Amino acid sequence: MTSTPNPLADRPVVPDPVDSRSETVSALERGLSVLRCFAAERPVLGYADIARITGIPRPTVNRLVATLLANGMLKPDPLSDRFTLGPAVLSLAQVFLGSLDVRAVARPPMQAMAEETQASVYLAVRDGLDMVMIEACRPRFSILAPRLDVGSRVPMAVSALGRAYIAALAAEEKNQLLDSLRLLRGPEWASIEPGLTRALDEARRLGYSTSLGEFYREISSVSVPLVGPGGEVMALNCGGAGFVFTEDKLRGEIAPRLRAVAEKVAAEIGGRVPPAQA
């Protein structure tokens, strides 16, 4: 199966909003925005690509790339005059993933659910205005090529993962994030907001959020928020092809199982699953 293009592929990389801009270093923010340009669907980029995606002037991009190359965060692509992520990024990613004990706890029940339901099951955390996968489980004998894997990113507003994450936030943080998403999406927001509003209300009443072909047209999924012991919010997701994972199946069969997995993980790590408020 061919991979569907990421709808954010050519969208400017917007840095995560912070409360006090005086405490940030703009050069560092720009360097990080360069790294965030690289994704599974665009692993190799040139100077012009990075300038277009980030909106950073080309001379500044040249200096940023030179600095990242010198520090191993980027490396030259041997087949072109472009670049890929370097080994230093992998080292940082391994440290980050290794520190997440929740992955080790979540993997067994996630894999069991994947086998039982013949669906893909993901665990994700927030990165900027996207959700990034930190664990991915799928049936061992699935005939379909995976669309997402550890490190894949999905947009918050149209994915079940993002909607579950937003629903679990405190009111003030939720409103700030929605404002940032509104700015990011621009004219598209008018068509996105109704589905997002419905999903957030659904999460409040039922304890889970859905995305029915709103991210990938042929994919439907359900997500449940999971709050760690320190208050960090994550989300679990389960789903697959929409003709198999119909809305009725997601709501009647998958959502209760996924919530049980989330509650099991929460109990083992000292976290919690936000209750439904119906």
> Taking the mean position of all CA atoms in its chain, how far away is CA 99?
18
pLDDT of the residue at 278: 66
Q: Which fold has domain 100-269?
A: Beta-Lactamase (3.30.450)
pLDDT of the residue at 152: 87
Is 0.85 surpassed by the pTM of this model? no
pLDDT of the residue at 5: 44
Q: Which stretches in the chain have pLDDT values below 70?
A: 1-24, 94, 97-100, 142-147, 278
Residue spans of the domains in the chain: they are 21-86, 100-269
pLDDT of the residue at 143: 55
pLDDT of the residue at 99: 64
CATH number corresponding to 21-86: 1.10.10.10
pLDDT of the residue at 24: 61
